[in-house]
């Protein structure tokens, strides 16, 4: 899953699984992302512990391509 923060920074996180809970879709990541999101503010729990203002967007690409370069 690729997250774009309100300041334009992007981060990618591997997805472990997707499940349904109480009629909602829950995305379970395969690692601790170290972010807390409340309203329009994201805070990095680990280093460097920045606070990022603005709305986040989340994208799950359906396919990816890897090419080898020499």
Mean pLDDT of the chain: 89
Q: Domain boundaries in the chain?
A: 2-54
pLDDT in tens, 5-28: 999 999 999 999 999 999 999 989
The DSSP string of 1-65 is: -EEE-TTS-EEE--EEEEEEETTEEEEEESS---EEEETTEEEESSTT--EEES--EEE--S---
Query: 42 versus 68: which is more confidently predicted?
Result: 42
For residue 31, name the pLDDT band (cuts at 50, 70, 90).
Answer: confident
For residue 33, name the pLDDT band (cuts at 50, 70, 90).
Answer: confident
Q: What is the pLDDT of residue 62?
A: 83
- 43 pLDDT more than 90: yes
Nearest to 39 by CA among 53, 49, 23, 29: 53
């Amino acid at each position: 899953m690729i997250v774009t923060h309100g300041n334009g920074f992007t981060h990618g996180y591997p997805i472990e699984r997707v499940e349904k809970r109480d009629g909602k879709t829950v995305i379970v990541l395969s690692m601790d992302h170290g972010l807390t999101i409340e309203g329009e503010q994201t805070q990095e729990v680990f280093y460097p512990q920045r606070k990022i203002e603005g709305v986040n967007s989340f994208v799950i690409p359906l396919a990816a391509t890897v090419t080898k370069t020499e």
